């Protein structure tokens, strides 16, 4: 079952983000033999937040470019910010290019269509959309 939680917090973001759960493998282009594992926390068409438990601080500088893969999704991303917390880190990525399209990209496109509907307002602080049906490409 796919689940999207629409986040309606007031932020300075240009586009809304939604919560998503997906494992990712991140590869810094400056050290292509290095692999970092994490999970997507939230996502939009222009960025994603990843939570990782494997720390390699020397590869986590703002401006570093990464190959980020989750299933069939393959993205070229740039670190915008990171927040270290003990042995874990939250990384804010800007998506520079979506190389290969998979489920995350389909979710973003469906979410964008939903939030772009004229006259649509969210009443709850979180609105949940769930579907067992495959998403349209």
Residue with structure tokens 């500088």? 61
Q: What structural domains does the chain harbor?
A: 2-8+15-117 (2.40.10.220)
pLDDT at 130 over 60: no
Is there a contact between 27 and 35 (Cβ–Cβ < 8 Å)?
yes
- Strand ranges (DSSP E) for the chain? 2-7, 18-28, 36-43, 47-52, 65-70, 73-85, 88-100, 126-131
The top-scoring range by mean pLDDT among 24-28, 50-54, 85-89 is 24-28
Q: Compute CA 8 distance to the chain's CA centroid, rounded to the nearest angstrom.
A: 16
Q: For position 137, what pLDDT does the model report?
A: 37
pLDDT at 17 over 70: yes
The whole-number average pLDDT for the span 65-92 is 93
Tell whether pTM > 0.85. no
The whole-number average pLDDT for the span 60-64 is 91
The whole-number average pLDDT for the span 73-94 is 92
Alpha-helical regions (H) of 8-137: 103-115
More confident of the two residues 16 and 98: 98
Q: For position 74, what pLDDT does the model report?
A: 95
| 24 — pLDDT class (breaks 50, 70, 90) | very high
């Amino acid at each position: 079952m796919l689940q999207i939680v629409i986040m309606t917090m007031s932020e300075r973001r240009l586009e809304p983000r939604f919560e998503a759960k997906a494992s990712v493998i991140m590869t810094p282009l400056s050290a292509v033999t290095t692999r970092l594992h994490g999970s997507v926390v939230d996502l939009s068409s222009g960025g994603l937040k990843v939570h990782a438990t494997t720390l390699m601080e020397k590869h986590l500088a703002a401006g570093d470019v990464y190959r980020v893969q989750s299933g069939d999704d393959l993205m070229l991303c740039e670190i915008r910010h990171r927040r270290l917390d003990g042995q874990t880190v939250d990384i804010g990525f800007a998506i520079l290019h979506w190389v290969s399209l998979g489920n995350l990209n389909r979710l973003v496109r469906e979410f964008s269509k939903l939030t772009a509907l004229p006259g649509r307002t969210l009443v709850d602080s979180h609105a949940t959309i769930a579907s067992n049906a495959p998403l349209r490409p």
